[in-house]
Chains A and B, each alone.
Chain A
Amino acid sequence: MTTTPRTKSKFRLPTPHNMGYAFNWTGRIGLALILFWAVVAMFGRWFTPYPVGARVDWDYFGGISAEYWMGTDYLGRDIFSRVLMGARYTVGIALAAVTLACTIGVVLGMIAAVIGGWFDTLLSRFLDAFNGIPSLLFGLVVVAAVGSSIPVLVLTLAAIYMPGAYRFARALAVNINTMDFVTVARARGEATPYLIRREILPNILGPVLADLGLRFVFIVLVLSGLSFLGLGVQPPNADWGALVRENIEGLSLGAPAVIFPSIAIASLTISVNMFIDNLPTKIRDRAE
Chain B
Amino acid sequence: MMTDTPLVSVRDLRIGAVTDSGRKIEIIRGVDFDIVPGEILALIGESGSGKTTIALSLMGHTRRGCSIEGGTIRVGKHDVTGMTEKQRARLRGTEVSYVPQSAAAAFNPSKRIMDQVVETTRIHDLMPRARAEAHARDLFRALALPAPDTIGDRYPHQVSGGQLQRLSAAMALIASPELVIFDEPTTALDVTTQIEVLRAFRRVMQESGMAGVYVSHDLAVVAQIADRIIVLKGGETQEQGTTEQIVNDPQHPYTKELLAAFDPVPHVPLAGRDDSADTPVLEVRDLCAGYGAIKNGEPAAKVLDNIECRLMRGRNLGVIGESGSGKSTLARAVAGILPAYRGSVLFDGHTLAPDLAQRSKEELRRAQIVFQLADTALNPAHSIANIIARPLRFYKGLGGAACEREVIKLLDMVHLPAALRHRLPSELSGGQKQRVNLARALAADPELILCDEITSALDTVVAAAILDLLKELQSELGLSYMFISHDLSTVEAICDDVLVMYKGKVVEAMPAARMSEDATHPYSRLLISSVPQLDTGWLAGLEQDPELLAAFSER
A residues lining the B interface (CB < 8 Å): 1-2, 4, 6-7, 9, 179-181, 183-190, 198-199, 202-203, 205, 286
A181→B379 contact, CB < 8 A: yes
29 A/B residue pairs, CB under 8 Å, sorted by A: A1-B385, A1-B400, A1-B404, A2-B385, A2-B404, A2-B422, A6-B422, A6-B424, A9-B382, A9-B386, A180-B371, A180-B377, A181-B379, A183-B371, A184-B440, A186-B337, A186-B356, A187-B336, A187-B337, A187-B364, A187-B368, A187-B369, A188-B394, A189-B356, A198-B382, A202-B379, A202-B382, A203-B381, A286-B380
Seed contacts A9-B386, A180-B373; 19 additional CB < 8 Å A-B pairs: A1-B385, A1-B400, A1-B403, A1-B404, A4-B422, A6-B383, A7-B386, A7-B421, A179-B376, A180-B376, A184-B369, A184-B371, A186-B337, A188-B391, A198-B390, A199-B379, A202-B381, A203-B381, A286-B380
Chain B interface residue count: which class? 35 or more
Please name the residue on chain A nearest to B364 by beta carbon: A189
> What is the predominant secondary structure among interface residues of chain A facing chain B?
helix
Q: Which residue of A lies closest to B375 (CB)?
A: A180
A188 partner residues in chain B, CB cutoff 8 A: 364, 390-391, 394-395, 444
Query: Does B391 contact A9, Cβ atoms closer than 8 Å?
Result: no
Contacts of B444 in A (CB 8 A): 188
**Which of B356, B378, B381, B424 sits near A187, CB closer than 8 Å?**
B356
Cα–Cα, bound, A4→B385 (Å): 12
**Bound Cα distance from A183 to B377, whole angstroms:** 8
Contacts of A199 in B (CB 8 A): 379
Chain B residues 488-537 with CB under 8 Å of chain A are none
* Residues A286 and B422 in contact, CB atoms below 8 Å apart: no
* Residues in chain B near residue A286, CB distance under 8 A: 380-381
CB pair B377 A190 closer than 8 Å: no
Bound together, the chains give a CA A205 to CA B403 distance in angstroms of 28
CB distance from B386 to the nearest CB of A (A): 7
Which residues of B lie under 8 Å from residue A189 when comparing CB positions? 356, 359, 361, 364, 394
> Interface SS of chain B: helix, strand, loop or mixed?
helix
Per the bound structure, the CA–CA distance linking A87 and B181 in Å amounts to: 63
- CB neighbours (8 Å) of B359 from chain A are 189
Chain A residues closer than 8 Å to B335, beta-carbon distance: 187
Residues 357-407 (chain B) with a chain A CB within 8 angstroms: 359, 361, 364, 368-369, 371, 373, 376-383, 385-386, 389-391, 394-395, 400, 403-404
Q: Which 3 A-B pairs have the closest CB atoms?
A: A202-B381, A180-B377, A180-B376
The smallest beta-carbon distance between B258 and chain A, in angstroms, is 29
Chain A neighbourhood of B403, CB < 8 A: 1
**B20 closest partner in A (C-beta):** A281
Q: In the docked arrangement, what's the CA distance between A286 and B337, Å?
A: 27
Q: In whole angstroms, what is the CA distance A199 to B378 when docked?
A: 10
Q: In the complex, what distance in Å separates the CA atom of A234 from the CA atom of B2?
A: 91
Asked if A203 and B377 sit within 8 Å, CB to CB, the answer is no
Least CB separation from B372: chain A residue: A180
- CB neighbors of A among B400-439 (8 A): 400, 403-404, 421-424
Closest to B360 in A: A189
| A180 CA / B378 CA spacing, docked (Å) | 8
- Write the nearest CB–CB distance from A14 to chain B, whole angstroms: 14
- B468 CB, nearest partner CB in chain A, Å: 24
Q: A1-B400, A187-B356, A188-B364 are in contact. Are A181 and B376 (CB under 8 A)?
A: yes
